[in-house]
Amino acid sequence: MEMITRPTEMLVDLKAFQNNIEEIKKFLPENTKIMPVIKANGYGTYINTRLDILNNFEIVAIATVDEGVYIRNLGYQKEIFILNQPYIDEIPKIIENNLTVGISSDSFAKALCENGKDVKVHIEIGTGMGRTGINSKRVIEYYESLKPNIKVEGIYTHLSSADSDFEYTQKQLKSFEEAVNLLKERVDLKYIHSHASNAILNFASKGTYNLVRPRNNHVWLSI
């Protein structure tokens, strides 16, 4: 069958992107860094191909190992963080391409340990999103199950209702804070993050830790 396509073009204003980043910074304390989420080809903008833009950030976030490999092969040398815990059989790619990975399952953590190679991780805390993350009360148990080759650089969570439910989001932040305080007693955390786009806009005054995750499709919008 002949493929029928539409002659559609999307024009992206990079000056508007830079302006929106500056506007986001106005919501944040001075020491808070921005980690743009550029998964799915930058939500269709293909900003993930623009090293001149990516190199303005010391860390970027993607969803899959292959997305991280793609950016690394383009020449991005700074940190690449995989938001979603990958599959065990992707561990060699993670190590080969020096990717930092979010972890929350016991089986994946065990596989990383058994691999024996150094790998950087952020521990994901489940505070109510309901999909992934360990219980905040398990954070020390989980941390102590890791072997020395696992370098814990960060801790994070996902706020499910920051655009609509103030009370529930406050409960999530309280649960996350408990985990952060417990883990801080054992490790010097480079990155602590909980705020995506909606939380930046609605909860920045409640504290943002030292890293935020605006989604690329929101960064393109005018603020």
Number of helices (H), then strands (E), belonging to the chain: the values are: 10, 9
* Residue 2 maps to a domain: no
Q: Is residue 6 situated within a structural domain?
A: no
Amino acid identity at 117: K
Q: Is the residue at 118 inside a domain?
A: yes
What does the pLDDT look like over 8-67, one tens digit per residue?
Answer: 777 778 888 888 899 899 889 888 999 999 998 888 888 899 999 999 999 999 999 999
What confidence tens digit (pLDDT) does each residue in 195-221 have?
998 899 888 876 679 999 997 555 544
Task: State the average pLDDT over residues 142-160.
Answer: 96
Q: Count up the domains in the chain and report the number.
A: 1
Strand partners, 215: 37
Burial class (CB in 10 A: 0-12, 13-18, 19+), 94: buried
Reported as a single tens digit per residue, the pLDDT across 73-97 is 999 999 999 999 999 999 999 999 9
Q: What is the CATH number of the domain that holds 205?
A: 3.20.20.10
Q: Is residue 88 part of a domain?
A: yes
In a domain, 197, yes or no: yes
How far is residue 32's CA from residue 26's CA, in Å, rounded to a whole number?
11
Residue 132: predicted pLDDT:
81
Question: For residue 201, what pLDDT is reported?
Answer: 87
Taking residues 119-148, report their average pLDDT: 92
Question: What is the pLDDT, as a whole number, of residue 98?
Answer: 98
For residues 134-148, give the mean pLDDT: 95
Tokens representing 197 are 């786009």
What is the predicted pLDDT for the residue at 65? 97
Domain span at residue 134? 32-219
- Residue 216: what pLDDT? 59
Asked whether residue 91 is domain-assigned, the answer is yes
Q: How far is CA 158 from CA 46, 70, 80, 83, 195, in A?
A: 24, 25, 18, 10, 7
Residue 217's pLDDT is what? 52
Distance, in Å, from the CA atom of 86 to the CA atom of 149, rounded to the nearest integer, reads 18
Q: Does residue 168 form part of some domain?
A: yes
Q: Please indicate, yes or no, if residue 19 is contained in any of the structural domains.
A: no
- What is residue 223's predicted lDDT score, i.e. its pLDDT? 38
